[in-house]
Amino acid sequence: MVDYYGNWTYEKNVNPRKMCDMDYVAQLVEQDGYEPVTSMENIVTVIVLLYNGYLVDHDVSYYSVEPDEDTLHINTEDVAEFVEDSGGYSEFDYYG
């Protein structure tokens, strides 16, 4: 959930209309059953930053429009594949 100042914090059961890319990735981490060593905020931030950097470096766009939404959301299937190809969640679970 993003607050008034633009800071994201992890919250369970976010209203789907208020979900951002970070919430979608956190939901993916939860669904896969991974327990972060650092924090959910940290692992999600690292995954999103490295994933977006990968897209820019490889001139690829993996964003899809979700049903019933007018906004673009991160494609969690591609994020899951990116995480798996990178060695799993533990590769993103560190403080930089």
Here the tokens at position 94 are 């560190």
- Start-to-end Cα distance in the chain: 22
pTM over 0.85: no
pLDDT, tens digit, 9 for 90 and up, residues 43-57: 999 999 898 887 767
User: Token pair 């951002």 is at which residue?
Assistant: 20
In 1-96, alpha helices (H): 21-31, 40-57, 76-85
**Per-residue pLDDT at 87 exceeds 50:** yes
Do 83 and 62 meet the contact criterion of CB atoms below 8 Å apart?
no
